[in-house]
Amino acid sequence: MSIFTGSGVAIVTPMYEDGRVNFDKLGELIDFQIAGGTDSIIICGTTGEASTLTDEEHIECIRYTVEKVAHRVPVIAGTGSNCTREAINLSKESVKAGADGLLCVTPYYNKCTQDGLVEYFVDIARAADLPIIMYSVASRTGCNITPYAANKAFRSADNIVAIKEASGNIGQVAKIAQLTEGGLDIYSGNDEMITPIMSLGGKGVISVLANVAPKLAHDIAASYLEGDVKKSADLQIRCMDLVDALFCEVNPIPVKAALNLMGFEVGPLRKPLTQLEAKHEEQLVQAMKAWNLL
């Protein structure tokens, strides 16, 4: 059984102006997401600025989210690292916290070979008894999960059950589906490719777009799952300007700006990320107005 189907939000981590995590605001965002139809909450991923959270903050965000969600939807904890030992520690803590699954990004900066990737995922799987979603986003980590490595990892541990595919390479997605014979769940890691990936058997999306438009992201995926491919495709095409605006600078700079424009007061980013440039803010405002988000 899939951890979830439909739209999972890669939720932002709200901050106070002094940089502390704003847990009250995180709770508000979680309720907003569930009310909007979001099918899963992914906490401490890329969009959640996990790379600048301390271990203590990281674990507390996961604990808080599990408690706040209270089994309304699955909670998936981001626990990947460029150190296998650290990834295992975060994964074990997520098990204790009551998470429903783990999202494990590939090691970054030091990278590794494809055989090393397989060992990394299998080591985490053996240490933490939760379903694992491998996360392939070479544009940020410099380390792609090839279809052959994805298949080998999938067949090496029963709890490696899915992949978040953010390579932008639809041919790679098709090859993963072929090699794993449909047994490995595939989630789009790119908001502009939800419908295309679902056409290859994908189960949905782990979305940045859902932060500001949860119903829209949900409807793109849900329409496909319900057999209304035309509606899914139409929504996918119509939202492209909004998706482009949410990625006009490195994620999560634009999406945090968008939430602040919507009045959510999610606060600043942690350095080295900086405020959205004025020219991009205008692009974002126009795209949001087209969807009545402002």
Which pLDDT does position 194 carry in this prediction? 98
Contact 283, 257 (CB under 8 A): no
Residues 6+ apart with CB under 8 A from 48: 10, 11, 12, 13, 42, 61, 78, 252
Does the annotation count 148 as an active-site position?
no
Tens-place pLDDT, residues 100-154: 999 999 999 999 999 999 999 999 999 999 999 999 999 999 999 999 999 999 9
Would the pTM of this model clear 0.85, i.e. be above it? yes
Cα 166 to Cα 178: distance, rounded to the nearest angstrom: 18
The answer, yes or no, to whether the previous bond of 147 is cis (omega within 30 of 0) is no
Which pLDDT does position 274 carry in this prediction? 96
Which pLDDT does position 1 carry in this prediction? 84
Write down the catalytic residue from 25, 68, 120, 135.
135
5 token code pair: 């189907």
Does the annotation count 135 as an active-site position?
yes
Which DSSP string do the residues of 165-220 spell out, in sequence order?
E-S--HHHHHHHHHHTTT-SEEEESSGGGHHHHHTTT--EEEESGGGT-HHHHHHH
What is the average pLDDT score of the chain? 98
Contact 76, 103 (CB under 8 A): yes
16 token code pair: 């106070």
Per-position b or e across 251-280, b if 16+ CB within 10 A of its CB: bbbbbbbbbbbeebebbbbeeebeebeeee
Specify the residue for token string 């053996």. 126
| Residue type at position 58 | H
Write down the catalytic residue from 164, 187, 203, 224.
164
pLDDT tens-place values along the chain, 294 residues long: 899 999 999 999 999 999 999 999 999 999 999 999 999 999 999 999 999 999 999 999 999 999 999 999 999 999 999 999 999 999 999 999 999 999 999 999 999 999 999 999 999 999 999 999 999 999 999 999 999 999 999 999 999 999 999 999 999 999 999 999 999 999 999 999 999 999 999 999 999 999 999 999 999 999 999 999 999 999 999 999 999 999 999 999 999 999 999 999 999 999 999 999 999 999 999 999 999 999
Beta bridge partners of 134: 104, 163
* Phi, psi angles (nearest 5°) of residue 226: -85, 0
- In sign, the C-alpha dihedral spanning 199, 200, 205, 208 is negative
Q: Which of 65, 57, 55, 67 is nearest to 19 (CA)?
A: 57
User: Where is 283: in which H helix or E strand?
Assistant: helix 278-290
- Residues written for the chain: 294
- CA-to-CA separations, 178 to 76, 174, 242, in angstroms, rounded: 26, 6, 32
